[in-house]
């Protein structure tokens, strides 16, 4: 083992590389575990090992144009996680044809044709059918549609072909865990390697401390830091501490007296169940304040228009309102009333994590005036907001204020991270185009 190898790879990564090269029996390798633990980095190296292995298979079987599958949740995830990282590590830039495929050539071996397959929806099944592959690399395997993943494995039917994949954990009943990871060691053709955050020995200690301190407790921590396949248990926002996350109005005034706040609102429509509009404010220090909550049952759209107009009068006519997309006619009514209304980001678990992270780091602060209001349901809902252990998501019951708050925080954060246009209507269309709006007809992000 050379000094260069020790410098480049962590002990865990070297173990995985050794297993990939020395073990001749495996057919499927799953490298899973914590975020930033080095899974994808080592898999990108294994990708080239496997391309060489595939070229050898092609030569042995006299295959003139061998195919190899590079798969990921979407074209963006393949570009970000694999292709860009390969360029940054090796300086290799691939040249794509009109089908988004590329070739890689080793000396004295057939050129490998690498085809891309997007796995996040069943639409990827069409591009995974009708050919035989010499191997596959599947990035973010737990995000793959089960049928698409199985089809990719089935395509790799030439003797000696192999599938390598990496993933972050999901629920313990996920098919990738039950059908593959749990069988590792029992079926010699399957290898599974578990990574924890500390396996990445190249991370600085202050980064490790920071990410541990800000990752929400419970399921999020167990998955992101410990790399465990766990479902949520108990309260969703278990890091919420009333003595630390609720502040007086005087404290709010003191904290923000020299700051210019950014105001925005979250809207969850209701009638038989509660309708909600919450108003939040962000300061320049990374704090988010819940400064108003309007929660009522049996109120029609005319009532909510009045509430929104009152909010607009106090916080400015350009205050954005991130709305539940389940009632598009209500969103349209708000837009007709000249509110800056748009459909909210509704990928639920991601949004919950955004809120939970702020709660744990004490950057989500609720004004005492809000929770003392007799009409407020914020604390009632928060202390009843629990995980559904079967679905791995929060129980969909008595969660209207939780939803409105999540819509506001998650949409604002998503837009700040993907600021592709300043026009709010086009921003809303951008969310719709990417399938990030959970319409009743189940639009998915592909």
Which residue ranges does the chain devote to CATH 3.40.50.300?
A: 3-217
Cα 221 from Cα 213, distance rounded (Å): 10
Residues 31-60, mean pLDDT to the nearest whole number? 95
Helix, strand, coil percent content, the chain, rounded in steps of 5: 40, 20, 40
Token duo for residue 83:
């292709």
Q: What is the average pLDDT score of the chain?
A: 91
Which has the minimum average pLDDT: 31-40, 146-155, 379-388, 431-440?
431-440
Among 86-90, 262-266, 361-365, the range scoring the smallest mean pLDDT is 86-90
Are the CB atoms for 311 and 264 separated by under 8 Å? no
Q: Is residue 444 over pLDDT 70? A: no
Q: What kind of architecture, by CATH, is found in domain 242-433?
A: 2-Layer Sandwich (3.30)
Q: How far apart are CA 339 and CA 235, in angstroms?
A: 35
- 8 A C-beta contact, residue 303 and residue 247: no
Answer whether residue 166 shows pLDDT above 90.
Answer: yes
Would you say residue 11 has pLDDT above 70?
yes
In the chain, residues under CATH classification 3.30.420.280 are: 242-433
Q: At what angle do helices 348-360 and 205-214 cross, to 10 degrees?
A: 110
Distance CA 94, CA 62 (A): 25
Q: Is 279 in contact with 373 (CB distance < 8 Å)?
A: no
What is the phi/psi pair of residue 261, to 5°? -85, 150
pLDDT band, very low/low/confident/very high, at 391 (cuts 50, 70, 90): confident
Residue of 133 and 419 predicted with greater confidence: 133
Asked if residues 117 and 143 have their Cβ atoms less than 8 Å apart, the reply is: no
| pLDDT band with cut points at 50, 70 and 90 for residue 28 | very high
- pLDDT, position 433: 54
Bridge partner list, 289: 281, 365
pLDDT (mean) for 188-196:
95
pLDDT at 347 > cutoff 60 = yes
As beta bridge partners, residue 343 has: 323
CA contacts within 13 A on the Cβ side of 273: 10
Q: What angle do CA 174, 175, 178 make, to 5 degrees?
A: 90
User: What are 69's strand-pairing partners?
Assistant: 115, 136
pLDDT the model gives residue 80: 92
Does the pLDDT of residue 202 top 60, yes or no? yes
Q: Is a pLDDT exceeding 70 seen at residue 441?
A: no
Buried-state track 256-279, b at ≥16 Cβ within 10 A, e below 16: beeeeeebbbbbbbbeeebbbbbb
Kindly state the average pLDDT of the residues 10-33.
94
pLDDT in tens, 94-148: 999 988 899 999 988 999 999 999 999 888 888 888 889 999 999 999 999 999 9
Q: Domain 3-217 is of which CATH architecture?
A: 3-Layer(aba) Sandwich (3.40)
pLDDT above 90: residue 18: yes
The stretch 80-100 carries a mean pLDDT of 91
CA-CA-CA-CA torsion sign (2, 5, 6, 12): negative
What are the tens digits of pLDDT across the range 46-71?
A: 999 999 999 999 999 999 999 999 99
Between 130 and 227, the more confident residue is 227
Is the pLDDT reported for residue 2 higher than 70?
no
pLDDT at position 126: 82
Q: Is 441 left (phi over 0), alpha (psi -120 to 50) or beta?
A: alpha
H or E element, residue 334: helix 328-336
Which is more confidently placed, 440 or 370?
A: 370
């Amino acid at each position: 083992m050379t000094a260069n190898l020790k410098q480049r790879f962590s002990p865990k990564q070297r173990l995985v590389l050794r297993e990939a090269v020395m073990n001749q029996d495996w057919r499927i390798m799953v490298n899973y575990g914590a975020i930033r633990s080095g899974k994808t980095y080592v898999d990108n190296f294994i990708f080239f090992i496997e391309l060489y292995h595939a070229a050898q298979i092609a030569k042995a079987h006299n295959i003139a144009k061998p195919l190899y599958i590079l798969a990921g949740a979407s074209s963006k995830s393949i570009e970000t996680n694999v292709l860009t990282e390969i360029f940054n590590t090796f300086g290799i830039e691939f040249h794509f044809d009109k089908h988004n495929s590329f070739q890689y050539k080793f000396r004295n071996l057939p050129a490998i044709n690498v085809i891309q397959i997007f796995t996040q929806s069943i639409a990827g099944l069409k591009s995974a059918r009708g050919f035989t592959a010499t191997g596959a690399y599947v990035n973010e395997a737990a995000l793959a549609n089960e049928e698409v993943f199985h089809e990719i494995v089935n395509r790799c039917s030439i003797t000696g072909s192999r599938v390598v994949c990496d993933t972050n954990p999901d629920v313990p009943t996920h098919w990738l865990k039950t059908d593959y990871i749990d069988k590792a060691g029992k079926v010699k053709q399957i290898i599974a390697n578990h990574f924890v955050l500390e396996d990445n020995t190249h991370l600085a200690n202050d980064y490790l401390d920071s990410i541990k301190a800000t990752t929400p407790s419970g399921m999020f921590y167990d998955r992101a830091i410990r790399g465990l396949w766990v479902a949520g248990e108990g309260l969703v926002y278990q890091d919420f501490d009333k003595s630390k996350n609720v502040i007086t109005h005087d404290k709010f005034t003191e904290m923000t007296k020299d700051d210019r706040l950014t105001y925005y609102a979250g809207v969850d429509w209701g009638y038989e169940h509660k309708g909600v509009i919450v108003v939040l404010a962000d300061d320049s220090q990374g704090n988010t304040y819940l400064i108003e909550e309007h929660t009522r049952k049996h109120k029609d759209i005319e009532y909510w228009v009045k509430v929104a107009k009152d909010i607009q009068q106090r916080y400015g006519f350009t205050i954005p309102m991130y709305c539940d997309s389940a009632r598009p006619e209500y969103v349209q009514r708000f837009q007709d009333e000249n509110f800056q209304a748009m459909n909210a980001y509704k990928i639920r678990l991601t949004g919950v994590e955004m809120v939970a992270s702020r709660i744990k780091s004490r950057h989500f602060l609720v004004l005492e005036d809000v929770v003392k209001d007799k009409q407020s349901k914020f604390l009632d809902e928060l202390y009843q907001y629990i995980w559904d252990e079967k679905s791995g998501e929060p129980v969909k019951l008595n969660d209207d204020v939780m939803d409105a708050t999540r819509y506001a925080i998650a949409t604002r954060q998503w837009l700040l991270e993907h600021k592709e246009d300043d026009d709010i209507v086009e921003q809303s269309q951008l969310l719709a185009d990417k399938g990030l709006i959970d319409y009743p007809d189940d639009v998915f992000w592909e």
